[in-house]
Chains A and B, each alone.
Chain A
Amino acid sequence: MTVETIIEKPPEKPDADQSMGDALLSHQKRNRLFQNVKIGSVWAALILILAVGLLQLRFDPGYIGEHYGFVMQGVLTTLGLSVASILIASVLALLGALGRLSQNSIAQGIAGFYVSLVRGTPLLIQIYIIYLGLPQIGTQLQSMGFTDLGKSLTLTAIQSGILALSLNYGAYMTEIFRAGIQSISHGQREAALSLGLSSWQTMRRIILPQAIKIIIPDIGNQFIAMQKDSALVSVMGVWEITYRANRFGRKDSKFMEMFILAAALYWILTIVSSWLEERLEKRMAHAYER
C-alpha cells in the first residue's frame, strides 16, 4: 500500500492586482499606438500638402533627381564643420562655465565678457570679422616684426568657419554648462570637500560626471542648430550644402529646386541627429533607473 501523496498545486489564482495592472498597461500601450498612428497620419497629410504646394511653384522635381548628387557631396563638409565646431565649442563652453562659476574675478570677467560679446553679435558678422578682419591685424603685427604671429592670423575659409562657429556656440553653451554644473546639489560638493578632495578633484570627479548627463541633451540640441548655421560659412566659398545648392542653381536658373533639395538634406540631417541624441539621452538615463 502506497500512500499517494498528491501534492496538489494550488490552481493559479489570478492575482487581481496583477491582472488589473496588466490590463491597464496593455490599454495604455494600445492608446499610445493609436495616438502614434494618428500623429503619423497628420504628418503624412502635412507632407502631402507641402508637396502639392511645392509642385505649384515653377518647379521641376525631375531636375532634383538628376542633380542631387552634386549637392549631396556637400553633406560631409557640413557635417565635418559642425562636428569639429561642436567639439571645440564644448571645450570653450566648459572653460567659460568654470570661469563664470569661479571666485577669481579675472576669470569671471573674461568669461562674462566673452558670453556677452559673442552672444550679442550676429554670427555672420563674426565670420566676416574673423575672415577679413583678423588678417588686417596680422598685417599690422607683421609690420611690427611679429612675422609668424602676424601670418598665423590669416586663416583659411574652413579654419575661419570652424573658429567662428566654435566661438559663437561656445558662448551659448557656456550658459548651458553653467546651469548644468549649478544643478548638482551643493551637498555633493560639501561631501567631497569634507572627504578631503581638492576643489579641482571635486569638480572633475564628482560634479562634472553628474552634470554631463544633464548637459548632453542640450549639446545635441545645439549641434542640430549648428548644422543649419554652418550654411553661413558658404559666404567664404566653402563648398558645403548651401554653397553647392546656391551656385549650382544659378547654372540652369533652377534655384527653387536646389534650395528645396538643400532644405530637405538639412532636415534629414537634423532628424538623424535628434534620433541619435534621443538614444544617447536614454542611455545616459540608465544610471538613474532602478
Chain B
Amino acid sequence: MKKYYVVITFLIMVVLVSSACAKATPKPAADKLEEILARGTIIVSTDPAYPPQSELVENATRATNTKCAADQHTPSELSGFDIEVAVAIAEKLGVEACFVTPEWTMITGGSWANRWDISVGSMTITPERMEKLYFTQPYYTTPAALFIHKDNTTYTQYSDLEGKKIGACSGCTYDAYLAGTLNIPGETIVQVINNPQFVGYETDINAIQDLALGDGLRLDAVMTALPTGQGAINDGLPLRQLGDPVYFEYLAAAIDKSLTPDPIPLVKKVTEVIKQLHSEGVLLKLSEKYCGLDLTTAAGGFDVDALNQFP
C-alpha cells in the first residue's frame, strides 16, 4: 500500500510537470518588446462584447499560415475598431497580431501572468488603472452619454435624473462617475446628477436591454459610450439620447506593469507607433469607418508624458 502512494504522487507530479513544460520557452529576451519581435507575434487581449469596437465574425476561418498559438485567434475571426487598430500596431512593429478574449475585468485588473502582451480594448485612462497598468498614447476618445427610453417625456436635462435608477457597467468609468469618484487625467469632470441610484451590470449592453423593456420599469436611464448607445438605437431599440455628451474619455492601449521581462520599452514603442498612426490619418479613417465621426483628433493631442508613468 505504501508503494502505491509513491506511485500516485509520482503520477500527479508527472501530469503537472508535463502540462507545464508543453510551452518551450525561447531564449530569455532583455525586455518585452524584444521578446515580441523575436516571437513574431503580439498577443492582444480583447473582449468581443463591445461592438463596434470588437465583435465576433460569423463564418470566419482561422488564418492558415499563422504563428498564433492554437488557443489564440487570428484577426480574421474578429472585427471592429479595436481589432483594426491592433492589427495596424502589429504591422508597424512588423509582427502578427494574435487575439485572446478574457473577460473585461480580467484585463483591467492587471496581473496578466504574461498570458497576453497588450490590451487594445478602448480602455479609459484612469488613476486606479494606472496603478496596475501602463498606458500608451490614446488612439481615440469616447463621449460618455446618457440614454433614456423613447417613451419618456419628463426628462429634458441631466438634473431631471436626480435620484433615478441609472444603469451602467459595474467597475467601469460610468460607475465611478455616478458614484462621484471619477477622475480622468487630462479632463475636468463636472458632476451633473445628484444622488443617482446606480444599478450595476456585467456590461453596458445588458443595462441597455433592461432600459428598453420600458420607461422606468427596471431603469430610468443608462450611462454608456455614445457609439454604444447609438448602435443600440440603430438596431431598433426604443431609446434616445439625453442632451450632449457628459464628458470625454481618453482611450488607450494598456500594458500590465507586472509583465516580465521589462514592459517599459514596449509601452514607449507602442506610443510612438500610435502617434505615427495619428499623423498618417490611419486612425481618423478607422474612426469614421466604425463610428461615423472623428473621435481621434483630440486623442492625438493628448500629452501622454504628463501621466508620469515611468519611475
* Residues of A that sit less than 8 Å from B by CB: 67, 69-70, 95, 102, 104, 107, 131-132, 135-136, 138-139, 148-149, 151-159, 199-200, 235-237, 239, 243-244, 246-248, 250-253, 255
Shortest CB distance B230–A (Å): 13
With beta carbons under 8 angstroms apart, the residue of A154, A158, A200, A247 that contacts B1 is A200
Q: Which of B58, B100, B115 contacts A67 (CB 8 A)?
A: B58
B276 part of interface (Cβ distance < 8 Å): no
Stretch at the interface among B48-56, B88-96, B154-162, B186-194: B48-56
Known contacts A154-B115, A239-B101; A250/B5 CB under 8 A: no
* CB of B21 closer than 8 Å to a CB of A: yes
The number of residues on chain B lying at the interface, defined by a beta carbon within 8 Å of a beta carbon of chain A, is 40
Residues A250 and B49 in contact, CB atoms below 8 Å apart? yes
When C-beta atoms are compared, the residue in chain B nearest to A159 turns out to be B19
If A102-B1, A251-B51 are given as contacts, then 13 extra A-B residue pairs at C-beta distance below 8 Å, sorted by A number, are A70-B56, A95-B8, A135-B115, A151-B20, A156-B115, A157-B100, A158-B71, A235-B103, A243-B101, A247-B56, A251-B56, A253-B209, A253-B235
Interface centre among A158, A159, A237, A255, by most chain B C-beta atoms within 10 angstroms, is: A237
Chain A at the B interface: SS class: helix
| A174, B113: Cα distance in complex, Å | 32
Given A139-B258, A157-B71, A148 contacting B205 (CB threshold 8 A): no
Q: Are A70 and B71 CB-contacts (below 8 A) given A132-B106, A151-B20?
A: no
Determine if B101 and A136 form an interchain contact, defined as CB atoms under 8 angstroms apart.
no
Is there contact, CB below 8 Å, between B20 and A70?
no
Q: Is the CB of B205 within 8 A of A253?
A: yes
User: Which residue in B20, B109, B209 is a CB contact (below 8 Å) of A152?
Assistant: B20
- Interface presence of B237 (CB below 8 A): yes
- CB-CB < 8 A to B49: which residues of A? 246-247, 250
Tell me which of B51, B55, B102, B236 contacts A237 (CB under 8 A).
B102
The answer on a CB contact under 8 Å between A248 and B235 is: no
A residues within 8 A CB of B205?
250, 253
**Which B residues, 1 to 23, have Cβ-Cβ distances below 8 Å to chain A?**
1, 4-5, 8, 16-17, 19-21
Task: Tell me which of A95, A252, A253 has the highest count of chain B C-beta atoms within 10 A of its own C-beta.
Answer: A253
Report the minimal beta-carbon distance from A172 to chain B, rounded to whole angstroms: 20
Question: Could you mark each residue 85-120 of chain B with 1 if its beta carbon is under 8 Å from any beta carbon of chain A, else 0?
Answer: 000000000000000111100100101011100000
